[in-house]
Structure 1
Amino acid sequence: MPKQKTHSGAKKRFKITGSGKIKKQQAGMRHHLEVKASKRKARLNQDKVVSAPDAKVIKKLLGR
């Protein structure tokens, strides 16, 4: 049986940390930024760790 290909969309959106957790960019930083508070934009601009059930699916897409 052939190897499973890596999902192209997933490999652009997720990064795996050294400990095996999956990081993603928080949504909400694309537009309408002038109406958002600086504190809110700073929080949204940080990477988030994906929840365990979602991480299982993402790891499958990434071929891990």
Structure 2
Amino acid sequence: MLTDRQMRIIRSARDWVAEYGEAPSVRELASAVGVSSTSSIVYQLRRLRERGIEVETRGRRSGRCPHCGR
């Protein structure tokens, strides 16, 4: 079962793509969800990936594996 925040993240990302035609950055996604901490969004995105739900974001690439974060 997904948390309310995870559902808001998924919904906000979907709405962003529909409106702007591209995935939101983590910062834009945090703003859309109403969260001031981008690390909270990153944590939730990691939790969603662990459940097999990929929410695409755009921005700088860290060189880390997009699946495990290493």
TM range (shorter): 0.3 to 0.5
Higher strand share: 1
Higher helix share: 2
Give TM-score scaled by structure 2 length.
0.33
